[in-house]
Structure 1
Amino acid sequence: MGLNILVFILTFLFMEFMAWFTHKYIMHGFLWSLHQDHHKKDHDSWFERNDTFFIFYAVISIGFFLLWRYDILEIGLAIGLGIFAYGLAYFLVHDIFIHQRFKLFRNANHTYAKGVRRAHKMHHKHTGKEDGECFGMLMVPFKYFKK
């Protein structure tokens, strides 16, 4: 049980690195065509091509659930849940809190919330794939927490 909790926590934390890496080198790299509509909306749909990345990580999470379910990888459930929990946190922070795809958490006034919002605003200041900054989501540089 203790090992599974540790694996869950480590997976969740590792996903922040994966989100940063994927965002910087894949979304702002060779798959910019899927991510660019997130920086400069060129359609009328509520959905964005950028949402494809959620599906990618959901499939990976489900894969770990299946590895656990069929007794192939004992810690597969912990890994799958860690990926899922990070995806949920990312969705709540990025899509709901920052971009207001649902009108919730509009009045969050906590220091952490303000810092994450500032960092993401700086990221979106750049509408092209080059010269970006602040590619992480839950952990951002301390300079964005200063007033």
Structure 2
Amino acid sequence: MAAVATTTATFLGMEFIAWFMHKFVLHGPLWFLHRSHHVRHPHHFERNDFFFLFYGALSALLIIYGSPEKDFRFWMGVGIAAYGTVYFFVHDVLIHGRMRFWRKSRNTYLRALNMAHKMHHKTTSRDNSEEFGMLWVSPRYFALALRKPAPTRTLRQPAVNSKSKQLEGKDS
């Protein structure tokens, strides 16, 4: 039971740590690295991706050093790793589309999260941004997501070239 509590508390605590680091460190002294995330660029990777290495290394070290006894360090490392995994899928895959297998969601929470993140990226400078969290969303974005209809899903029809159309016309 202590393992579940430690992992859950670490996961939830990471949201506050991520918010704090994003607002006061990334939009502060480390803006020179984070700026790459706020401007369009043709690269698959950006300087901002280096922050993954920091949290990944912290998680790995906690897991490694806590592994022999499966003590609190191990479960804190698991909580950080779980947060990082959710962060990757929500932020990099869903919101920024860095992998194209999950494009749109009809889920109100995920749509509100996406709207809040778009508002964060509305500015390309280190100042005047809002919405620094990853999983916590201001209630106003929930209200907006409820008012704005969810995208409809339509299946793409295969492209028909002009020769196929001509052949169909001759057969009839």
Shorter-chain TM range is over 0.9
- How many aligned positions are there? 144
Structure with the greater relative contact order (CA < 8 A, sep ≥ 6): 1 or 2? 1
More helix by share: 1
Aligned twin of 1:4: 3
| Deviation of 1:7 (Å) | 0.2
Distance 1:139 1:133 in 2: 13
Write the distance in 2 (CA, Å) between the matches of 1:23 and 1:140. Answer: 15
What is the distance in 2 between the residues matched to 1:47 and 1:107?
22
* TM-score (structure 2 length as normaliser): 0.80
Confirm or deny that 1:29 pairs with 2:48.
no
1:95 maps to which of 79, 92, 96: 92
Following TM superposition, by how much is the alpha carbon of 1:70 offset from its aligned partner in structure 2, in angstroms? 4.7
Is the alpha carbon distance of 1:116 and 1:49 closer, same or farther for their aligned partners in structure 2, counting shifts above 3 Å? same
Superposed counterparts of 1:20-99, under 5 Å:
20-41=19-40, 43-71=41-69, 74-99=71-96
* Aligned counterparts of 1:104 and 1:22: Cα–Cα separation in 2: 29
Bigger CA radius of gyration: 2
Secondary structure of the residue aligned to 1:30 is: coil
Greater shift, 27-36 or 61-70, is seen at 61-70
1:92 partner amino acid = F
- Matching residue within 113, 131, 135 for 2:132: 135
CA contact (8 A) 2:94 2:104 kept: no
- Stretches of structure 2 lacking an aligned partner (at least 5 in a row): 148-172
Q: Secondary structure, in 3 states, of the residue corresponding to 2:27? A: helix
* CA-atom RMSD in angstroms: 1.2
Gapped runs of 5+ residues in structure 1?
none
Q: Aligned residue for 1:113?
A: 110
Task: Report the Cα offset of residue 69 of structure 1.
Answer: 2.6
